[in-house]
Amino acid sequence: MDFQDIHHEHARLTERLTQLSADVRTIRDDGVFDPKRFREVHRFINEVALPHLKDEEKNIFPRALAAGLPPEVLDLLKRDHEELRVLACVAMHSGLDGDSPVLPLDAVLVVERLIRAFDEHARLEESLFSDLERSLGVASSRSA
Protein backbone atom coordinates (compact mmCIF):
# COMPACT_ATOMS: atom_id res chain seq x y z
CA MET A 1 0.00 0.00 0.00
CA ASP A 2 1.39 3.41 -0.89
CA PHE A 3 0.31 6.92 0.08
CA GLN A 4 -2.07 7.16 -2.90
CA ASP A 5 -3.80 3.96 -1.78
CA ILE A 6 -4.16 5.29 1.74
CA HIS A 7 -5.75 8.52 0.45
CA HIS A 8 -8.38 6.50 -1.39
CA GLU A 9 -8.92 4.22 1.58
CA HIS A 10 -9.32 7.19 3.92
CA ALA A 11 -11.87 8.72 1.54
CA ARG A 12 -13.89 5.48 1.61
CA LEU A 13 -13.57 5.24 5.39
CA THR A 14 -14.71 8.84 5.89
CA GLU A 15 -17.76 8.24 3.72
CA ARG A 16 -18.60 5.05 5.61
CA LEU A 17 -18.05 6.74 8.98
CA THR A 18 -20.50 9.48 8.00
CA GLN A 19 -23.17 6.86 7.26
CA LEU A 20 -22.44 4.90 10.44
CA SER A 21 -22.61 8.09 12.48
CA ALA A 22 -26.06 8.85 11.04
CA ASP A 23 -27.18 5.28 11.77
CA VAL A 24 -25.94 5.42 15.35
CA ARG A 25 -27.62 8.83 15.90
CA THR A 26 -30.88 7.34 14.64
CA ILE A 27 -30.50 4.40 17.01
CA ARG A 28 -29.74 6.76 19.91
CA ASP A 29 -32.25 9.54 19.23
CA ASP A 30 -35.16 7.63 17.76
CA GLY A 31 -34.73 4.33 19.58
CA VAL A 32 -34.88 2.56 16.23
CA PHE A 33 -34.69 -1.20 16.61
CA ASP A 34 -32.61 -2.34 13.68
CA PRO A 35 -30.38 -5.39 14.22
CA LYS A 36 -29.06 -5.00 10.67
CA ARG A 37 -27.56 -1.61 11.59
CA PHE A 38 -26.05 -3.09 14.76
CA ARG A 39 -24.45 -5.88 12.74
CA GLU A 40 -23.11 -3.36 10.22
CA VAL A 41 -21.47 -1.28 12.96
CA HIS A 42 -20.02 -4.47 14.47
CA ARG A 43 -18.78 -5.62 11.06
CA PHE A 44 -17.26 -2.24 10.24
CA ILE A 45 -15.27 -2.15 13.46
CA ASN A 46 -14.02 -5.73 13.23
CA GLU A 47 -13.64 -6.20 9.49
CA VAL A 48 -12.77 -2.70 8.28
CA ALA A 49 -11.53 -0.31 10.99
CA LEU A 50 -9.29 -2.59 13.06
CA PRO A 51 -7.68 -4.28 10.03
CA HIS A 52 -7.11 -0.81 8.53
CA LEU A 53 -5.13 0.22 11.61
CA LYS A 54 -3.04 -2.93 11.50
CA ASP A 55 -2.34 -2.48 7.79
CA GLU A 56 -1.25 1.12 8.29
CA GLU A 57 1.11 0.13 11.07
CA LYS A 58 2.64 -2.60 8.95
CA ASN A 59 2.82 -0.84 5.57
CA ILE A 60 2.35 2.92 5.85
CA PHE A 61 4.02 3.90 9.10
CA PRO A 62 7.46 2.52 8.18
CA ARG A 63 7.29 4.26 4.78
CA ALA A 64 6.18 7.52 6.37
CA LEU A 65 9.03 7.39 8.88
CA ALA A 66 11.54 6.62 6.12
CA ALA A 67 10.12 9.52 4.09
CA GLY A 68 10.77 11.96 6.91
CA LEU A 69 7.73 11.87 9.22
CA PRO A 70 9.12 12.90 12.62
CA PRO A 71 9.23 9.98 15.11
CA GLU A 72 7.20 11.96 17.66
CA VAL A 73 4.41 12.42 15.10
CA LEU A 74 4.47 8.70 14.35
CA ASP A 75 4.24 8.06 18.11
CA LEU A 76 1.13 10.27 18.21
CA LEU A 77 -0.46 8.25 15.38
CA LYS A 78 0.38 5.01 17.18
CA ARG A 79 -1.24 6.33 20.36
CA ASP A 80 -4.34 7.24 18.34
CA HIS A 81 -4.44 3.70 16.97
CA GLU A 82 -4.22 2.27 20.48
CA GLU A 83 -7.03 4.57 21.66
CA LEU A 84 -9.19 3.43 18.74
CA ARG A 85 -8.54 -0.20 19.65
CA VAL A 86 -9.46 0.48 23.27
CA LEU A 87 -12.69 2.20 22.19
CA ALA A 88 -13.53 -0.78 19.97
CA CYS A 89 -12.92 -3.14 22.88
CA VAL A 90 -15.06 -1.01 25.21
CA ALA A 91 -17.86 -0.97 22.60
CA MET A 92 -17.77 -4.77 22.39
CA HIS A 93 -17.80 -5.08 26.18
CA SER A 94 -20.65 -2.55 26.38
CA GLY A 95 -22.89 -4.78 24.34
CA LEU A 96 -22.02 -4.23 20.68
CA ASP A 97 -22.42 -7.72 19.35
CA GLY A 98 -23.15 -8.76 15.78
CA ASP A 99 -25.85 -11.13 17.05
CA SER A 100 -27.45 -8.80 19.57
CA PRO A 101 -31.02 -7.68 18.84
CA VAL A 102 -30.54 -4.51 20.95
CA LEU A 103 -27.69 -2.06 21.20
CA PRO A 104 -27.47 -0.79 24.80
CA LEU A 105 -27.20 2.97 25.28
CA ASP A 106 -23.71 2.60 26.79
CA ALA A 107 -22.56 0.87 23.60
CA VAL A 108 -24.20 3.53 21.43
CA LEU A 109 -22.31 6.27 23.26
CA VAL A 110 -18.99 4.42 22.97
CA VAL A 111 -19.60 3.70 19.29
CA GLU A 112 -20.34 7.39 18.67
CA ARG A 113 -17.08 8.27 20.39
CA LEU A 114 -15.22 5.65 18.36
CA ILE A 115 -16.66 6.94 15.08
CA ARG A 116 -15.73 10.54 15.93
CA ALA A 117 -12.22 9.55 17.02
CA PHE A 118 -11.68 7.39 13.93
CA ASP A 119 -12.88 10.18 11.65
CA GLU A 120 -10.63 12.75 13.35
CA HIS A 121 -7.69 10.36 13.16
CA ALA A 122 -8.21 9.63 9.46
CA ARG A 123 -8.37 13.37 8.74
CA LEU A 124 -5.17 13.95 10.72
CA GLU A 125 -3.39 11.21 8.80
CA GLU A 126 -4.63 12.66 5.51
CA SER A 127 -3.18 16.02 6.42
CA LEU A 128 0.13 14.57 7.60
CA PHE A 129 0.58 12.22 4.66
CA SER A 130 -0.37 14.95 2.16
CA ASP A 131 2.15 17.31 3.74
CA LEU A 132 4.77 14.56 3.63
CA GLU A 133 4.05 13.96 -0.06
CA ARG A 134 4.33 17.67 -0.80
CA SER A 135 7.67 17.83 1.01
CA LEU A 136 8.87 14.94 -1.15
CA GLY A 137 7.54 16.57 -4.30
CA VAL A 138 5.01 13.79 -4.90
CA ALA A 139 1.92 14.92 -6.78
CA SER A 140 -1.27 13.71 -5.18
CA SER A 141 -3.92 12.50 -7.59
CA ARG A 142 -6.70 12.42 -5.00
CA SER A 143 -9.65 14.70 -5.51
CA ALA A 144 -10.09 17.61 -3.12
CATH number at residue 57: 1.20.120
Its domain, for residue 12, covers 3-136
Q: What is the pLDDT of residue 80?
A: 96
Residue 88 lies in a domain: yes
Q: What is the pLDDT of residue 109?
A: 84
Residue 144 lies in a domain: no
Residue 141 lies in a domain: no
Residue 34 lies in a domain: yes
Domain total of the chain: 1
Residue 16 lies in a domain: yes
Continuous H helices in 31-70: 35-43, 50-55, 61-66
pLDDT by position in tens, the chain (length 144): 466 677 778 888 888 888 888 887 877 777 666 677 778 888 889 999 999 999 999 999 999 999 999 999 999 999 999 999 999 999 888 877 767 666 677 777 888 899 899 999 999 998 998 888 888 876 444 444
What residues contact residue 38 under an 8 Å CB cut-off, 6+ apart? 27, 96, 97, 98, 100, 101, 102, 103
